[in-house]
Amino acid sequence: MAPGRRSNIDRSSINPCLKYFIFLFNFVVLIVALATVGLTSWIIHEKDKKINSVIDVILDPSVVLLFVGCIATLISFLGAMGSLRENRCMLTWYSRLVTVFIFIQVVGVVFVFLFYYDNSILISLKIYPEDLFKDAITNYRDDADQQDFIDGWQKEMDCCGFSDDDAGYKAWSNNMYYNCSQDNKSAERCAVPWSCCVLKDGDKLNLLCGSGALEKTSTEVSDQIYTRGCLKAVREWVGSNLFVFGCIIIGVLVPQMIAVCFARNLNDQISIQLSKWR
C-alpha cells in the first residue's frame, strides 16, 4: 500500500486518547528534565565541581539532579517519541527502563525499612550507612555545597554527626578543624558546627555556639547542642511518620506503574493494528 494512502486505512485498534496522553505526559517530563540538565550542568561548571567519592554525589543536590535529569530525559524521550510515532521498540525500552527505575526505588525503600526495623540485617550484608558519611565529616570545609547540605540536615533534623546513636556529635572529632588533638591550632578546636546548636525562641545565632562540645559528655552538653546522630534522627523520623512516608512512596511509585501499564497497553494495540495491516 502506498504511504500516501495510509491515513485512509483502519486504525481502530489504537486508542488516540491513550496515545496522546502518553505523549503529552512524557513531553512535559522531557521539557522539565532538559531544563534541569541544562541548569545543573551550568551550576556544576560554574563552581568547578570535582567528584572524588560517592558522598560527593549524594550530598550535592546539583549532581543528584543532573543524574536524575539525564535518566528522565532518556526515558521520557523514548516514551514521547515512541507513542507519537507508534514505535514498538521505543515503547518496549520505555517500559523496561521505567520498570528498572521502579525496582531500584523499591530496593531503596526496602533498605530504609531494614535500617529502621533491624539494622543487623544491613550489617550482615556488610552495608554500613555510617561509613558512607565519614568522608562528609572529614571534607566538611572542603566543599561549600556539602557544607550547606550537612548544616541544613543537622538543623532541620535536630541532630549532630552521622552516627546511629546518642553520641553522634563525637563524629566531628574526625574533622581536622574540630578535633581535640594538640596539633590542632584552629579556633574551633573541640567544637562542632553551628548547625548542631540548640537554639531557643529569641536566641541569636552564634557561629561559635558549639565551642568545647567535644570535650564534654552527652549529659554535660545536652543544653548546648543536639547530641544524637543524624542517622538515628532519620530512623526516629521514619518511625514517627510511617503514614507520611508511605504516602510519599505511593505518590512516587504509582504514577510510574501506571505509565508502564499504559505504555504496554499502547504497544499491544500497535501490535494488533500492525497484524491487521498485514
- Give the rounded distance of the alpha carbon of 85 from its chain centre: 33
Cβ-based burial of 60 (10 A; exposed 0-12, middle 13-18, buried ≥19): buried
pLDDT above 60 (res 3): no
pLDDT in tens, 111-165: 777 777 776 666 676 766 777 778 788 888 887 878 888 999 999 999 999 888 8
- Segments in 85-221 forming alpha helices (H): 88-117, 119-124, 129-132, 134-138, 144-157, 218-221
pLDDT above 90 (res 37): yes
- Compute the distance between CA of residue 268 and CA of residue 221 in angstroms, rounded to an integer: 65
- Compute the distance between CA of residue 115 and CA of residue 10 in angstroms, rounded to an integer: 56
Question: Are 57 and 64 in contact, with CB atoms under 8 Å apart?
Answer: yes
SS3 call for 197: strand
- Compute the distance between CA of residue 6 and CA of residue 162 in angstroms, rounded to an integer: 63
Write a three-state SS string for 8-45. HCCCCCCCHHHHHHHHHHHHHHHHHHHHHHHHHHHHHH
**For cell 531494614, what's the residue?**
114
pLDDT in tens, 58-104: 777 888 899 999 999 999 999 999 999 999 999 999 999 999 999 99
CB-based contacts of 49: which residues, under 8 Å, 6+ apart?
A: 56, 60, 62, 63, 145
SS3 call for 225: strand
Question: Are 210 and 196 in contact, with CB atoms under 8 Å apart?
Answer: yes
- Compute the distance between CA of residue 173 and CA of residue 206 in angstroms, rounded to an integer: 20
pLDDT in tens, 189-244: 999 999 999 987 777 778 888 899 999 998 899 889 999 999 889 888 888 888 88
Kindly report the average pLDDT of the chain as a whole number.
Answer: 86
* Range 129-237: architecture per CATH: Orthogonal Bundle (1.10)
**For cell 504497544, what's the residue?**
267
**For cell 539525564, what's the residue?**
70
- Compute the distance between CA of residue 216 and CA of residue 4 in angstroms, rounded to an integer: 83
CB-based contacts of 265: which residues, under 8 Å, 6+ apart?
A: 18
Give the domain ranges of the chain: 12-127+241-277, 129-237
Q: Of 175, 132, 169, whose CA–CA distance to 154 is shortest?
A: 169
pLDDT above 50 (res 247): yes
Residue 4 — pLDDT band, cuts 50, 70, 90?
very low
pLDDT above 60 (res 5): no
- Compute the distance between CA of residue 102 and CA of residue 188 in angstroms, rounded to an integer: 45
- Looking at residue 51, its amino acid is I
Question: Residue 94 has what pLDDT?
Answer: 97
- Compute the distance between CA of residue 154 and CA of residue 175 in angstroms, rounded to an integer: 16
pTM over 0.85: no
